[in-house]
Amino acid sequence: MSMIQELFRQILDPSPMQRALLEQMLSRWENLWDTSKMHAESIKAVEAVLTGVVEANEILNTHERTLCLYDYMPSNLDQLRNMHAELLSVQMLLQQQQAVFDDLSSNVGKLRQHVARTRFNVADHYDINSVDDVVQELTVRWENICYQVIDRLNLIESATGVLMQYQSAYENENAWLERVEKTIDDLRIDESMNPEEYQKHLDLLMAEYRNLTERTEAVEHVNREGGRFIREAKTYDSRISQYRDSIMERNPTISFGSYSSMSGHRQVAKDLEDFNRRFSQLASVILERRNVIQVWMQSYRRRREFRRANFIRRMALNDSDMFNLCHDLSAGRLGLILFCMRHVRLERGLLI
């Protein structure tokens, strides 16, 4: 175009028509140049959007796979803290990658503006709408990932506090329960024991039974805290399952493996069931042992009363025989008879 302008300047006296043609040519050139620049900018915008879509899709696939690999909420504090630390790392990475999705949304808006400037008298741009739909889908997936991380962090933080209270209460009451069970198992009860030993065992059993009644509130506290953790863990597990199902529904070919066989809430429920069963059985065992001791004490008393009654009866019979003997004999022989009676008693072991 500069060459044409140089040639036009060499014309000594250009006519008005020549001037008009030159102006028309220059105007068309400027329009063509502006249009070409707009197309170039549109191509750059398309390139930026496509590059952003590829990068965003890779980021999303990585995070979705990572989140789907998370297992059920454990009932182990160390494992729960490790999960929390891992999610915090994911959250920090998400914050760094947020700019990718912000730029992608911005580039789609710029692309629509560039295309609208190069397509005259076109109301709807279907290709740009398709790109916009793709970006919107990526944005929804990104927001879902961000929500998943925040939601899981909140649930784990809440569950960690509950689990700490539950485990502390459970360990205290379980240690007490094991001590009482061992105390009762170590009690030796047989018929060779004397009444003092029977009574000592009986007092110990009744003291443990009263203590058992007093521990009911503490046991209920263990069950309340365990129930709270079970609800927290079930909520967490349910949301993980729903998220994994949504990812597999969108991409049926993807595989994340299986969950562990025992989730945290099932483990706590199992521990509580065993703990409550032992606590309930303990009262029955104590009362059963008490009844056994009472029966043996009654049996001991009956045997003692029988021996005492038998001794008294034998004494009465011996005294009656001696009285009759003294009555039949003369008074002169009374000393000899008394001596004989004393000798008989000594032989029979009846002299006290």
Percent of all residues in the chain with a pLDDT value above 90, rounded to a whole number: 36
Residue 31 belongs to some domain of the structure:
yes
pLDDT digits (tens, 9 = 90+) for 217-272: 899 999 999 999 999 999 999 999 899 889 888 887 777 666 665 789 999 999 99
**How far apart are the C-alpha atoms of 327 and 184, rounded to whole Å?**
62
Residue 57 belongs to some domain of the structure:
yes
- Give the range of the structural domain holding residue 108, as residue numbers without chain letter: 21-251+263-306
Hunting for tokens 């900018």 — which residue is that?
41
**Nearest to 72, CA basis, from 246, 271, 257:** 257
Residue 43 belongs to some domain of the structure:
yes
**Nearest to 125, CA basis, from 48, 42, 50, 208:** 42
**How far apart are the C-alpha atoms of 107 and 49, rounded to whole Å?**
6
The first and second tokens of residue 120, run together, are 């005259």
**How far apart are the C-alpha atoms of 147 and 84, rounded to whole Å?**
15
Residue 329 belongs to some domain of the structure:
no
Residue 341 belongs to some domain of the structure:
no
Residue 6 belongs to some domain of the structure:
no
**Nearest to 77, CA basis, from 147, 137, 159:** 159
pLDDT digits (tens, 9 = 90+) for 58-72: 999 999 999 988 888
Residue 295 belongs to some domain of the structure:
yes
Confidence (pLDDT) at 251: 80
Q: What is the CATH number of the domain that holds 118?
A: 1.20.58.60
Give the count of domains, the chain: 1
Residue 60 belongs to some domain of the structure:
yes
